[in-house]
Structure 1
């Protein structure tokens, strides 16, 4: 059974190197990780199992270029539900397949969602599903000079 991570369940330097290696390439074998951290493969496998169980490692994934899938246009939508429609807006955002990620945030808006679409017309259709229940503000992504990443304690040093 998976347990929630405990706040004081600190990662040591080896755990951080394992996590950093997996962030660089989730397909790295246990044997290769073991070589990098100078431990046996069974010890690394046990650490990885513990990191999975405590919720530090929540999955393994590939990074796919959305344009290669025919979704070249990215946009950020700031979403502010009209009074009484917060729950409905959450469900709508969950049901829109073009929504790649969505965070509930503080400030004037309640949500910031990243969408990937084929065209401006498709972006308009996404927005049209939301606007009966929320106000939106849209910013089209021109480029991403900093790729998605997770800052780690001690990142950049081993």
Structure 2
């Protein structure tokens, strides 16, 4: 299902998910209906799982980003996950190997807001907080990954 044309379509959509079928068709040398059909098939197969918009959190009023490593106490994982879902400030959570099995990314307006969230975490986990200074690499998958 993933041929050279589909790889180019996926790469182009990662660069600009709002690209028109006509413009995308020009890039891959197909008609707009043919591109639309290929995209529909990629979506149906679960290869394309959604579309998103990148935003500048600082300009939205959330200048502080933090990563929190969490070592969740035994038998508290379900409760911890529910707690994470209750905070809009939690913008990502990754379950990883190792003792500190959760990496939680937070976007907050102030350090006091961050402190309040961390206070809520302490009943369920040990935490280690790191402030995000910058994101030197933030890119879509390269075409070579799309096989």
Indicate whether 1:84 and 2:90 are aligned.
Answer: no
Which segments of 5 or more consecutive residues in structure 1 lack a partner in the other structure?
A: 1-9
- Secondary structure of the residue aligned to 2:58 is helix
Indicate whether 1:132 and 2:129 are aligned.
Answer: no
Q: Deviations over 1:9-28 (max 9, x none)?
A: x5211111111111111111
- 8 Å CA contact 2:8–2:143 kept in 1: the answer is no
Q: Tell me, in whole angstroms, the C-alpha distance in 1 between the residues paired with 2:17 and 2:117.
A: 32
1:21-36 aligned at under 5 Å gives the runs 21-36=12-27
* TM-fit CA distance, 1:150: 3.2
- Secondary structure of the residue aligned to 1:67 is coil
Q: Tell me, in whole angstroms, the C-alpha distance in 2 between the residues paired with 1:87 and 1:118.
A: 27
Q: Tell me, in whole angstroms, the C-alpha distance in 2 between the residues paired with 1:77 and 1:26.
A: 30
Q: Deviations over 1:42-62 (max 9, x none)?
A: 111000001111111111111
Indicate whether 1:121 and 2:112 are aligned.
Answer: yes
TM-score, normalization by structure 1 = 0.87
RMSD: 1.2
* TM-fit CA distance, 1:153: 4.3
TM-score, normalization by structure 2 = 0.93
Indicate whether 1:70 and 2:65 are aligned.
Answer: no
Indicate whether 1:146 and 2:134 are aligned.
Answer: no
Q: Which residue of 2 aligns with 1:52?
A: 43
Which segments of 5 or more consecutive residues in structure 2 lack a partner in the other structure?
A: none
Q: Tell me, in whole angstroms, the C-alpha distance in 2 between the residues paired with 1:14 and 1:130.
A: 47
Count of matched residue positions in the alignment of Structure 1 and Structure 2: 145
Q: Tell me, in whole angstroms, the C-alpha distance in 2 between the residues paired with 1:37 and 1:73.
A: 41
